[in-house]
Structure 1
Amino acid sequence: MASAGAVAVPAMVGICLLSQPYIVVGAVVVIGIVVLAVAIQEELEAYELRGHHSDEAKPVAQAEPAPWEPWAKREPKPEPSGQDSLPPLPPEPSGQERRPDCTPRPVPHLGGDALHNKCADRVPRNDFRGSDALVNGKHFDALQLQERVLWEVKTDNFDTYSVYLQRTVPDRQVRELRRERDLARACGFDFRVGVRSPEHQAALERLDGTLEIVVMDWC
């Protein structure tokens, strides 16, 4: 209706101007004011309409709250200093053998076999008569220090053994005698074995000809 009124007013004013020329100036002023007021009203209505649609089309975005994080996680972690970081420890040595104790020491005879001790003490030139010789952790039965020979004495009654024992006993003894020889040689000594019978001597030599076997004629 505002637009229709704006069109009708100039028409009516035009008619009045044609009939009464003396009011031309006043009519022009009135027409200008009316047209200006109509234009301002239309612009206000259009502005309100645009603002209304703009508010509906662009809703205000609400900022989402930051996720909660425990205080312990948000605390800055201290940087490791050079003093805190220690070099790794070297690995423990493995497979290292104990250094042998090669200094002969007299120690009491092991066991209480009187015959065995008598045969050991009567080894010719035995420097530890009445004692064993402790070398490289082993009790040897006799020591000839000048010749650097260590002795192991066997006093088995081999001739009285059964066939089974004559076959099994030497096998077990040879394994032990080899170990004792290695201990003596590790300290720079030779190694000899004393037995009471040639049969026992032969049985041991058949199993290991590198062993030095002596029949003890003093025992």
Structure 2
Amino acid sequence: MGIGFCVLAAPEIALGAVVVLGVVVIGVAIKEALDAYELRHAYPEEAGTSRGTKAASRRVEAQDSPKPKPEPSGQDWLPPMPPESPERERSPECRPVPVPHRGGNDPHNDCADLLPQNSFPGWDVLVNGKQFDALALVTRTLWDVKTDAFEKHNLHSQQFFAKVKLPELQRERRLAEACGYKFIVGVRSAAHKAALEKLDNTLKVVVMDWC
């Protein structure tokens, strides 16, 4: 044992041993690297399994995830239609049409033109086939104006005159109400008003104090 230790203790021998050991270690490392290289080339699918698995997983998740629905563009959206007005819901005959006054009775036409809230002074108004003397749109009221000198007649004549005129006034009221309008009869005297209301107390009669 003493001889062996001394031999190894010599510098030349020790250096050679280190070189030999270094060569052996390097050789082992090179062999392991070559074995790993051959393994990757012999089984390329297994070598890239981890990377391929992650990529495939991302692709599957992208395919399985629901696609976001596109938001509707401004051109696809239609605004709600506006509501129909009462005039449009009814027949065209209910739309008021201004027409010239019937000639031959200027005091009568002047009285109709001076009616408060008259929407078409200087004109009659055609509604539902009937020519009315005036229309107040703000209250949706059609008027028939009577300017006869009713109070100058005796009581019998007044009753007869009111009875003769009543059916036409009632017909005008029905035509106006069928189109959603109120109807008023304008007269020049309280006697005329009383005679009409006595025959039909549902008839609206107004004494025209402006003419």
TM-score interval (norm. to shorter): 0.5 to 0.7
The 2-side partners of 1:183 and 1:143 are apart by: 14
Q: 1:34 aligns to what?
A: none
Aligned partner of 1:203 among 182, 195, 201: 195
Q: Which runs of 4+ in 1 moved over 3 A?
A: none
Given residue 132 of structure 1, which amino acid in structure 2 is its aligned partner? D
The 1-side partners of 2:155 and 2:182 are apart by: 32
Question: Is the aligned partner of 1:114 residue 2:106?
Answer: yes
Q: 1:70 aligns to what?
A: none
Q: 1:127 aligns to what?
A: 119
The 1-side partners of 2:155 and 2:111 are apart by: 26
The 1-side partners of 2:159 and 2:137 are apart by: 34
Unaligned runs of 5+ in 2: 1-90
Distance apart, 1:162 and its partner CA? 2.9
> How many residues in Structure 1 have an aligned counterpart in Structure 2?
121
Q: Does the 8 Å CA contact 1:196/1:217 hold for their aligned counterparts? A: yes
Given residue 137 of structure 1, which amino acid in structure 2 is its aligned partner? G
Alpha-carbon RMSD across the aligned residues, in angstroms, is 1.1
Aligned partner of 1:183 among 168, 171, 175: 175
Q: How is 1:38-117 mapped onto 2 (pairs within 5 angstroms)?
A: 101-117=93-109
The 1-side partners of 2:187 and 2:123 are apart by: 19
The 2-side partners of 1:110 and 1:100 are apart by: 23
Given residue 117 of structure 1, which amino acid in structure 2 is its aligned partner? N
TM-score, with length taken from structure 1? 0.54
TM-score, with length taken from structure 2? 0.56
Q: More helix by proportion, 1 or 2? A: 2
Q: Does the 8 Å CA contact 1:100/1:137 hold for their aligned counterparts? A: no
Larger Rg: 1 or 2? 1
Aligned partner of 1:167 among 145, 155, 159: 159
The 1-side partners of 2:109 and 2:199 are apart by: 26
Q: Does the 8 Å CA contact 1:100/1:187 hold for their aligned counterparts? A: no
Identity level (%)? 57
Distance apart, 1:100 and its partner CA? 6.2
Q: How is 1:16-55 mapped onto 2 (pairs within 5 angstroms)?
A: none
